Structure 1
Amino acid sequence: MPHLLQPSGEDALAAVLRRSPLLAFDFDGTLTPIVATPDQARISQAVSGKLQRLASRLPVAIVTGRRVDDVRPRLGFQPHFVVGNHGAEMDEADVAQAAGALQEVRGELERREVELTRAGIMVEDKGLSLALHYRLSRRPDEALALIREVLRPAQPRCRTFSGKMVENVVPADAPDKALAVHRLVAHCNVSCAIFVGDDVNDEPVFASAPRDWLTIRVGRAPDSRAGYFLDSTAEVGLLLDRMLVHLGQPG
């Protein structure tokens, strides 16, 4: 997987931008660094300003694991689309279908609340998904084992997947980020997309993207299906600069 900010990546970026693509970005770990607790995350003014300028030229989407009403105030600009809960929170039909699917898991988490808290696990209920964070645990391996034990009875009614010091739970039939991005491409009537993400829940987009899309993973991951990578969220800012240059809007 080559680095995007080199000649071949620059050529690929320019080629896709000439086709007026959808620009889709994950939030945590992509537009903002991973932080100790979810509430601390914000996009910098510099990055939000670049995204606003891009949104004046092309459709821009934020596709995140957060709730839509949680992420909007953290952006500092107005994208055309915000998709939350790992792709599940996209339209009213998705919300209505999944609303009560996690009740059994919630009940088990409530029964074992004391045990989870003692292990340094924080439960984040996002309505259409649950996130069990263990970044602050003193024994992260033991915390992860406990989380998986607690969640095991919910399968196969629910789908679980790992992230950066977090285990996520969604209804088994909930839309994922890949479905969300493909829907947005069709909705915008564009031929391709640029998608930037950094974590396990972004891999379905990378894996399902047609060859003429541009997919970018933030952080080196040898087994990723992304076409290119960037080393850090700081380099995402450089990517936005390059996009603006190719669109004739240098800073």
Structure 2
Amino acid sequence: MRHFFSVGGESALAQVMCRKPLLAFDFDGTLTPIVSRPEQAFASKAVALRLHALSQLLPVAIVTGRTIEDARERLGFVPTYLIGNHGAQDENDPVKTAFLCEGLNPLREALQAHQAELAAAGVRVEDKGLSIALHYRLSRKRAQAVTLIHNLLAPLGSLIKVFAGKMVVNAMAKDAPDKADALRTLVQRSGASCAFFAGDDVNDEPVFAAAAEDWFTVRVGRDDPTSKAKYFLDGPSEMATLLDCMLAALSK
């Protein structure tokens, strides 16, 4: 990865912008900093205003681990597309949404049976319908919490897929689409010739790994030197400046 604000980054982005790409962004850790309590995260006015301006010129998508309903209240603008639950929640496909939600019922039963243990370990269970997040950021016994989580999930390995995040373990139905699947669908739906995508976490790596050569990918944070993203930002604080570069490229 190369830092976006280095030789070649801005000019490469300008070339992609000339092709009228789909612009897609993760939310937490990308458009807004990670916070200890997810309900306190909102896009800043600076970022929201720039994304609104871009959405008047190109299709803008938010592809987030949050539910669509939760994310919508935090953006400060109306995106062209909003995909939730790590790529699995698409308002255009309610039948599949219901099917994937039911696929997590065995996990719900297991978590209910061990509710007291999870609470004692400081694990907060967030059921988002198509995914279940097991947060341990506020736990005083993080190692114990992670062990408990994985012990509970292991017997369900044939039914679910599990991936880590920043102080969270996520579980979804085995055949649920990921963010890479969602981006491919949105590129086709929008009619765009290529895509820009920015994300910050493990569940964004499938997009970076599967991106076509002419896609522009950015990881927010330099914490993973093995990331398949082409460029990186030091943190969400640099996002508004990157959005300015997009708007400037479109104005030429």
User: What TM-score do you get using the length of structure 2 for normalisation?
Assistant: 0.97
Residue 20 of structure 2 is matched in structure 1 by 20
Q: Deviations over 1:202-224 (max 9, x none)?
A: 00000000111000000111110
Which residue number corresponds to residue 218 of structure 1? 220
Larger displacement relative to structure 2 (209-218 or 91-100): 91-100
The offset of 1:12, in angstroms, is: 1.1
Secondary structure of residue in 2 paired with 1:61 = strand
The separation in 1 between residues aligned to 2:109 and 2:178, in whole angstroms, is 24
Aligned to 2:9: 9
Superposed, 1:69-84 pairs within 5 Å as 69-84=69-84
* Residue 165 (str. 1) matches residue 167 (str. 2): yes
CA apart distance, 1:139? 1.7
Deviation at 1:248, TM superposition (A): 1.4
Aligned-pair CA distance for 1:156: 1.6
Q: Which amino acid aligns with 1:81?
A: Y
CA RMSD of aligned residues (A): 0.9
Q: Secondary structure at the match of 1:247?
A: helix
The counterpart of 1:239, out of the listed 232, 238, 242, is 242
**Paired position in structure 1 for 2:114:** 112
The DSSP-based 3-state class of the residue aligned with 2:207 is helix
Tell me, which stretches of 5 or more residues in structure 2 are unaligned? none
Structure 1 runs, 4 residues or longer, greater than 6 Å off: none
Would you say 1:60 and 2:63 are equivalent positions?
no
User: 2:141 & 2:220 partners in 1: Cα distance?
Assistant: 27
Give, in whole Å, the separation in 2 of the partners of 1:92 and 1:143: 34
Distance in 1 of aligned mates of 2:173 and 2:26: 20
Paired residues in the alignment total 249
Instruction: State the TM-score, normalizing by the size of structure 1.
Output: 0.97
Q: Distance in 1 between matches of 2:53 and 2:192?
A: 19
The one of 222, 228, 231 aligned to 2:231 = 228
* Contact kept in structure 2, 1:94 and 1:174, CA below 8 Å: no
Query: What is the SS of the residue equivalent to 2:251?
Result: coil
Letter in 2 for 1:67: T
| Structure 2 residue identity aligned to 1:242 | C
1:239 partner letter: L
The residue type equivalent to 2:147 in the other structure is: A
For residues 102 and 47 of structure 1, what CA distance do their matches in structure 2 show?
A: 35
- Conserved in 1, the CA contact under 8 Å of 2:64 and 2:86? yes
Q: SS of the residue aligned with 1:202?
A: helix
Per-residue CA deviations over 1:82-119 (Å, capped at 9, x if unaligned) read 00001110122330321210111111111111111111
SS of the equivalent of 1:224 reads coil
CA drift at 1:186: 0.6
Q: Which residue of 2 aligns with 1:50?
A: 50
d(CA) in 2 for partners of 1:17 and 1:241? 12
For structure 1, the residue ranges without an aligned partner over 5 or more in a row are none
